[in-house]
Amino acid sequence: MSSLNLDDFTDLIERPDGGVRRDAEARRERQIVPPGALGRLDDLGEWLAAAQSAVPVRPIERPRVVLFAGDHGIASLGVSVRPAGSADRLVRALLEGAAPSSILARQLNVPVRVVDMALDCDPDELPEDVVRHRVRRGSGRIDIEDALTPEEAEAAFRAGMAIADEEADAGTDLVVLGDVSVGGTTPAAVLIAALCGTDASVVTGRGGVAIDDLTWMRKCAAVRDALRRARPVLGDQLQLLAAVGGADLAAITGFLLQCAVRKTPVILDGVVSAACALVGQRVAFRAPDWWLAGQNSGEPAQAKALDRMALEPLLDHGVTVGEGAGALLALPLVRAAAALAAELPEAPEKQEEAEEVTEEVAEEVTEEE
C-alpha cells in the first residue's frame, strides 16, 4: 500500500505572504513612476515580493531550467510529426547546446537540467545525471492501456518531489519548467479534458510541431478513447496520472507541488506543464499561487487549463517548440519586474508622507501603552 498521501499537500502549501504583498504595493505607490504605469510589471514585482517574503524584492540571481523528458506510447498512432520513441534525439540536441532552449538559456546565462523519466532508449546512451531518475522505458499507450503501473506513478511523482527539494536546497530562486517529449501533448489534452469536463475536440490542438488535418483527427480519436479511461479515476489524481498521464507528467506534477511547499516560484511553459499544474491544483488549491504562465502556446487545452487556474500568460509569441523555450522568453520580463520594483526610487514628497504616518502610528501606540 502506498505511503504517499496527496492530501498532505493541502496543509503543507501556504499562499505567498499577503502582508508582504501589501507592503510591496504601498512601496510601489511611493515610487516616482505612478502606480499602473508599468502595467503587468507592477503585478509581477508585487507577486515576487510576496513569494520571497521580502520588500524590496530581491533580484532573480539563481534561476534554473528544469526539463522532464519521456516518450509516450500513444505516439505510435501517428499523433505527432515526430517519430514515436525519438525524444532522446531532442534530449541530445539540448545537451549539445543545439536546441532552441539551449541557445536561449545560454544567452540568458541560465543552467539547464534535463531529467529522463521515460525515454525510449538505452540509458547508457545518456549521462548518468540525466537518467538516474528514470522510471521505465516509454509510457504505455493510453487509449488502450495505463501509461504506468501504480508503483511507477508513485515513483515518478516522488522523483519530481525529490528534484524540487534538490533545487530548493541548491538555492534555485526561480524555476523555468518544461518538458521534452514525443506524444506528450496528447495525454496533456486528456488530463485537461477530464478535469475540465470537456470533449476531445475542444482540447485537441496541433502539438509542438504543427500537424496536418489527418493527424489531428487521429489525435482527436486518441484523446477521446483515453478520456473514456480517465473519467472513472478522476477522484484519485495519482491513479489518473497512472491511467492517462506518463512518467514525465507524474514527475512534473510532484515537482510543481513540492516547489509550492518549498516556496520556489515556477514559470510554466506549454500545455504539458499546464496539464500537470491543473492536476496539482486539484490536489492543493493554493498551489497555483506559486506559478506563472510564461506564454500562450496556442494549444486550446492550455488555454482551458490556465483559465481554470486563473493564470494569465505573460507572453503570446506563438512559440510552440516546447522544451521550456516559451517560458524562458518570459524570464527577462520577470527579472525586469524584480529590478524595477527594487530599484525605482521613492518620490521625496511621498517618502515624507510615509514617515509622518509611521510617526503618528508610533505616537498612538505609545499613548495606548
pLDDT at 355 over 60: no
The total number of residues shown for the chain amounts to 369
Q: What span, in angstroms and rounded, lies between the C-alpha atoms of 199 and 196?
A: 9
Give me the pLDDT at residue 353, please: 59
Please compute the mean of the pLDDT values over residues 203-227 and round it to a whole number: 85
User: Helices 247-261 & 185-196, crossing angle to 10 degrees?
Assistant: 60
SS3 244: helix
Residue scoring higher pLDDT (60 or 346): 60
pLDDT of residue 1: 47
- pTM beyond 0.85: yes
pLDDT at position 308 over 50: yes
Q: What is the distance between the alpha carbons of residues 46 and 39, in angstroms, rounded to a whole number?
A: 12
Give the rounded distance of the alpha carbon of 369 from its chain centre.
Answer: 49
% of residues, the chain, pLDDT over 70: 93
- List pLDDT tens digits, range 242-269: 999 999 999 999 999 999 999 999 999 9
For the chain, which residues make up each domain, given as ranges? 8-58+339-368, 63-333
- What residues does 267 pair with on adjacent strands? 176, 292
Residue 358 in grid coordinates: 509611521
Segment 266-288 shows an average pLDDT of 97
Largest alpha-carbon pair distance within the chain? 78
CATH no. of 63-333: 3.40.50.10210
- From the list 312, 323, 353, 369, the catalytic residue is 323
Mean pLDDT across 28-45: 92
Q: For cell 517548440, what's the residue?
A: 321
Could you give the CA distance from residue 127 to residue 42 in angstroms, rounded to a whole number? 42
101-135 b/e with 16+ CB inside 10 Å = b? bbebbeeeebebbbbbbbbbbeeeebeeebbebbb
pLDDT at 354 (0 to 100): 52
Asked if 110 and 123 touch (Cβ cutoff 8 Å), the reply is no
The yes-or-no answer on residue 323 being catalytic is: yes
Architecture of the domain made up of 8-58+339-368: Orthogonal Bundle (1.10)
Instruction: For residue 88, count other CB atoms closer than 10 A to its CB.
Output: 21
Read off the DSSP letter of residue 124.
G
Query: DSSP for 262-313?
Result: TT--EEE-SHHHHHHHHHHHHH-TTGGGGEEE-B--S-HHHHHHHHHHT---
For residues 272 and 239, give the distance between their C-alpha atoms in angstroms, rounded to a whole number.
18
Q: Could you tell me if 105 and 111 are in contact, meaning their C-beta atoms sit under 8 angstroms apart?
A: yes
Question: pLDDT band at 326, cuts 50/70/90?
Answer: very high
Considering just the CA atoms, what is the radius of gyration of the chain in Å? 22
CB pairs under 8 A, 24+ apart, for 287-291?
287/9, 287/13, 287/256, 287/257, 287/260, 289/15, 289/16, 289/260, 290/13, 290/16, 290/51, 290/259, 290/260, 290/263, 290/264, 290/265, 290/266, 291/256, 291/260, 291/265, 291/266, 291/267
Cα separation, 20 vs 263, whole angstroms: 14
Residue type, 301: A
